[in-house]
Structure 1
Amino acid sequence: MSRSGRFGRRQLLGAAGAVGAATLLGVPGRAQAAATPVVPIDWRILGSYPGADAAGQRLTAILAGSSRYLIGPWYATTYTYYLPDGYIDLKGTDERAVRLPAMAAVAAAAALVTGTYDPRTLSVPNATVRTRNLIRTLAARHRATNTNSTTRWGGTWQSALWAYYTALAGWLLTDHLDAVTHGHLAAMLAWEADRLATGNAVHLVGTAGNQLYMTRRDGTVVTPGDSKAEEDNWSAAALSLAAVMLPGHPNVTRWARRNVELLLAAAACPADLTGTATINGIRLSSWLQGTNIADDGTLQNHSRLHPLYMVSFDQSLYQGFVYGLANRAAPRAALHNITRTYRALVNKPFPLPSGGTSPIYRPNSAEIYYPEGNDWGTHFPFYFGSFDLLVSLTGQDAGISPSAATWEQRHNDAQLALMTRFSDGRTYGASSENTYYGREHRIGAMAAQTYLTLFLARNSTGNRLRWE
């Protein structure tokens, strides 16, 4: 797996210019899209990252294996023919039909552009074709340009996240996409970003939309046992990507502001309501109308204290690479209360059923302690290992011992041990290990985004993760 050239295997990418959505005008059966250009990544100003350090070697192996499985065996058994309009059959418009291929596309696109893709069972050209098929189909089926009510998706609770994955994969693989697909991607991302930027200080989408906070500032618990942290930061992800991919859009300022608001709301704790902090121009004590995490850094989801949702702040930290690929500083709001939450994972003691206490991160072990149980299964080392690496790279483990780098090694070694059980790159065996139907795709999407963060943090031109 060669890493020669700029940003890994750079022969996959050329020097494309901005491609506008104006090429969509007049396409039969599709609504006209705003002529806002997608600004591609300028790889010429980015250095390289060989991935030779220990963390890089672990993450390379995880991304290479996961992407090889997703764009290889999984794709081959899931998509077997083209529809008459030239697109593949997504077989629906729900999470399984849209989110899973979008995550697979992110994993494959990131592996291809960074030179971490493993071609032992599927060549680079064929993997590129398959990844392009996923991107172009997903973008074409979004309701922004698709009037067919039976095949269109978008405008739902989680669709901003699906759009983020699709657009990110397209941004990475931009030189292998035609002008129509670029237009679809721009229209899709702008449509979802505009939807997210219309709420008020209490609700995510208008006064009848999804809640922004689990607990309002007067103490009213709006969504018992269900923090809104994850929803807030996945919605912020779509806004951040829209801001850097479509910087010439007339609504970009509103998107950027809403991105910051959602990041701050996601990690808001009671102490913020009486503090003096101002972040990215927002005074927390006066703007926040509620909270999503406790002052000790824990949060609740699925009616329990849930470590898996504590590490969902990985989506906030990914903004470092999103802005970094555009040579811009990410909003400081993305780092808000990350240290508080990470300290709760590493140092906070919880009662054990047999007596005594243990932190969530079991001392000198890769094992995770779930104080109130885990309803998703038994094996999640990479969920924590990828978060460990993000926390380490962004310096959010200051004053915490053991360090995030120590935990990254333990958790990602455990992840690699799971993968060695199979020859095709997958992670999981029995469904009880992880009951989510997109479990392999989730590994791939996390590995892709964490690797991109690592590339920018340990770049040959210096650390390119910047925070304004």
Structure 2
Amino acid sequence: MAALPPLSRRHFLGAAGALGAAAAVGASGGASAESGAGGSDVIPIGWGQLGSYPGTDAAGKRVTTILAGSSRYLIGPWYAGMYTRYLPDGYLDLKGTDERAIRLPAMAAVAAATALATGTYDPRTLSAANATIRARNLIRTLAARHRANNPDTTTRWGNTWQSALWAYYAALAGWLLWDELDATDRDHLAAMLIWEADRLTTGNDVFLIGTGGEQLYMTRRDGSVVTPGDSKAEEDNWSAAALSLAAVMLPDHPNAARWTRRNIELLLAAAACPADLAGDETINGIRLSTWLQGTNIADDGTLENHARLHPLYMVAFDQSLYQGFVFGLAGRPAPRAALHNINRTYGALVDLPFALPDGGTSPIYRENSAEIYYPEGNDWGTHFPFYFGNFDLLVSLAGQDAGIDPAAAKWERLHNEDQLRLMSRFTDGRTYGDSAENTYYGREHRIGAMAGQAYLSLYLARNARGNLLRWS
């Protein structure tokens, strides 16, 4: 579909009142009780300072098609089947407070908000105006139900192992559709993100939060294994995501410097390897050999999760690389820490040989093929081309495939063409059929969230005003 003119495409509804009674304000307040900060302190995206991105390059066409299809499915058939009523306070019934109830609509909101904000939304089965109403419903309900805004213990969420990631998704979607939110929605969104970011700044160089519980590393400096077969890389970098977004959206908040510092710490901890402990590298003001207290990846770039060497968790460093567009949307460079050891891990995907069951060896990326070799098996299913194609794209845009042959752009084409093949089996924009292909209950939402963030990365990197992905 043809892209709409930049920015004017963001104003589908005119006045906020056009959203109708169903989107009426359901609760008051929402500003951070401790800081007094609220939605008015958020710096909106300066779309007028960003150039356009037509998406006509080969990778752009692929990612645009993936995003358009996925967002159309999630905000269309999936939303319609999931949310059939409003509660008395005007919010959606999220049907719980667990990952299914919170993370899935937050990921769907990222996909829809990105497509709507950038003019890549496909309105063939649902108008952009109605899609905007639905996306706003998701965003405002998620924010209102967070514990920062919600005293009801039966319906509130937050302060859990994964809640910083959920807050990141919901806040990102809200930031993209900021013009469509009213003052209460904005206050709730800010309070939610501030609350989760502040929680993360209580940790140190060993613990994620406070001085006990979840740790930053699988393996300690002395070689003892804290969590056998369970790297902390993914948890560290998804927590860092919330910190990065808080620092960008609320740069004048009194805790912004703490969020910025903690973001860098978690990025470095996520990708720490044994060589870092013995080296002399300093990144964003942190000397690795003295601050790091453990490791999450091996020196060869591999990592373990679910008690196996797991390629799917190697490409989970996509969350680190997304920081490029988060900071780029604010006209700022992302921290160099987000790139730490990405080249090392990508090299392990492309070039490192692993034993085959019947003899011989193979790298994880099979030559001239979209097929992925899982040296110790894959407990999540059989089909994940976009997980890899998304990472390939980000690595290429960040220039982190230096010295690796074939280059990331070749693998992006192979993997994302296979993703498009999966999507071509359906008419509603979804990717998966049999759940055995991907056993995660949020499989379609994961595709949508990745597609939205991949597109935003392209939007910044291949912008009419030049490459706006920068690293300090």
TM-score range relative to shorter protein: over 0.9
Counterpart in the other structure of 1:157: 161
Partner secondary structure for residue 316 of structure 2: helix
Q: How does 1:16-55 map to 2 (within 5 A)?
A: 27=28, 32=33, 34-36=36-38, 37-55=41-59
Normalised TM-score (structure 1): 0.96
Q: Distance in 2 between the 1:433 and 1:150 partners?
A: 34
Unaligned stretches of 5+ residues in structure 2? 17-24
Q: Output the CA distance in 1 between the equivalents of 2:15 and 2:280.
A: 46
Alpha-carbon separation, structure 2, partners of 1:387 and 1:72: 27
For residues 38-61 of structure 1, what are the alpha-carbon distances to aligned partners after superposition, in whole Å with 9 as ceiling and x for unaligned? 110011100000000110000000
- Spell out the pairing of 1:236-385 with structure 2 (5 A cutoff): 236-385=240-389
Counterpart in the other structure of 2:6: 6
Q: Are the aligned partners of 2:32 and 2:195 in contact in 1 as well (CA < 8 Å)?
A: no
Q: Partner residue of 2:19? A: none
Residue 367 of structure 1 aligns to a residue in which SS?
A: coil
Match of 2:403 among 387, 399, 403: 399
Shift of residue 6 of structure 1? 2.0
Say which of 219, 223, 227 aligns to 2:223. Answer: 219
Checking the alignment, whether the CA contact within 8 Å between 1:233 and 1:262 is kept in structure 2 is: yes
1:15/1:49 Cα in 2 relative to 1: closer, same or farther (>3 Å)?
farther
Paired residues of 2:3 and 2:120 also in contact (CA < 8 A): yes
Q: CA deviation at 1:209?
A: 2.5
One-letter code of the match for 2:37?
Answer: A
Deviations 1:270-308 (A, max 9, x none): 000001110000000111000000000000000000000
For 2:242 and 2:83, the matched residues in 1 are separated by 27
- Any idea what SS the aligned residue of 1:237 has? helix
Are the counterparts in 2 of residues 168 and 241 from structure 1 also a CA contact under 8 Å? yes
- Count of aligned pairs: 460
Structure 1 gap ranges (5+)? 17-23
Q: Kindly indicate whether residue 66 of structure 2 is the aligned counterpart of residue 62 of structure 1.
A: yes
> Which position in structure 1 is the counterpart of 2:116?
112
Is residue 225–residue 302 contact of structure 1 (8 Å, CA) maintained in 2? yes
Give the RMSD, CA atoms, in angstroms. 1.7
Question: After superposition, what is the alpha-carbon deviation per residue over 1:165-212, rounded to whole angstroms, capped at 9, x for unaligned?
Answer: 000000000000000000000000000000001011111011222110
The one-letter amino acid paired with 1:413 is E
Give the Cα–Cα distance (whole angstroms) in 2 for the partners of residues 103 and 266 of structure 1.
22
CA deviations on 1:6-49 (whole Å, 9 max, x unpaired) are 26834449999xxxxxxx9x938998572341110011100000
How much does 1:5 deviate? Answer: 2.0
The 8 Å contact of residues 271 and 296 in structure 2, kept in 1 or not, is answered as yes
Q: Does the 8 A contact of 2:31 with 2:190 survive in 1?
A: no
Relative distance call for 1:262 and 1:175 in structure 2 (3 A) is same
Within 5 A, what are the aligned runs for 1:227-238? 227-238=231-242
Aligned match of 1:137: 141
Number of the residue aligned with 1:177: 181
SS at match of 1:9: helix
1:79-98 equivalences under 5 Å are 79-98=83-102
Q: CA deviation at 1:456?
A: 0.2
- Counting only pairs closer than 5 Å after superposition, residues 443-454 of structure 1 correspond to structure 2 as 443-454=447-458
- 2:468 is equivalent to residue 467 of structure 1: no
- Asked if 1:434 is matched to 2:438, the reply is yes
1:321-351 Cα offsets, whole Å, 9 max, x none, are 0000000010000000000000000000000
Q: 1:391 to 1:305 in 2, by over 3 A?
A: same
Cα pair 1:196 1:235 within 8 Å, conserved:
yes
Alpha-carbon distance between aligned partners in 1 of 2:28 and 2:213, rounded to the nearest angstrom = 33
Provide the C-alpha distance between the structure 2 equivalents of 1:140 and 1:395, rounded to a whole number of angstroms.
39
Q: Write the distance in 1 (CA, Å) between the matches of 2:383 and 2:228.
A: 27
Amino acid at match of 2:4: S
- Counterpart selection for 2:75 from 48, 71, 77: 71
Residues 293 and 299 of structure 1 are in contact (CA less than 8 Å); yes or no, is this contact kept in structure 2? Answer: yes
